């Protein structure tokens, strides 16, 4: 396969990832609203560990540390967004 074709595939995948990340952040906004209404903290360590475990189960072992690092960043940015929405 040619480099240009592989880059085209990366660009296509990036477009899909961006759309999914926007959807995830929209859902995170709704979660923030419910947490704020219920007086719950933004950070839920148990939930974060559940996400980490699920990611490990869905990822081939050689990629665990890379994909987990991406998810740590995604979860961290979701927390920042929720905190911002909540005025924290």
- pLDDT tens-digit map of 48-76: 999 999 999 999 999 999 999 999 999 99
How far is the C-alpha of 47 from the C-alpha of 37, rounded, in Å? 19
What Rg value do the Cα atoms of the chain yield, rounded? 16
Could you give the number of structural domains in the chain?
1
Domain with 65, as residue range(s), is: 3-85
Please indicate, yes or no, whether the overall pTM of this predicted structure exceeds 0.85.
yes
* Those residues with Cβ within 8 angstroms of residue 42's Cβ, 6 or more apart along the chain or in another chain: 32, 35, 79, 82, 83, 86, 88
**CATH code, domain carrying 7:** 1.20.59.10
1 pLDDT above the threshold of 90: no
Tens of pLDDT, residues 16-42: 999 999 999 999 999 999 999 999 999
The closest alpha carbon to 71, from 37, 47, 36, 40, belongs to 47
In Å, what is the CA distance from 67 to each residue of 15, 30, 44?
18, 25, 20
């Amino acid at each position: 396969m040619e480099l240009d074709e592989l880059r085209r595939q990366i660009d296509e995948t990036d477009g899909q990832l961006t759309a999914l990340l926007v959807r995830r952040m929209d859902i995170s906004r709704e979660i923030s609203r419910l947490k704020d209404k219920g007086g719950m903290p933004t950070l839920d360590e148990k939930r974060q560990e559940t996400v980490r475990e699920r990611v490990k189960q869905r990822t081939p072992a050689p990629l665990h540390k890379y994909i987990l690092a991406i998810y740590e960043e995604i979860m961290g940015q979701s927390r920042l967004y929720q905190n911002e929405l909540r005025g924290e």
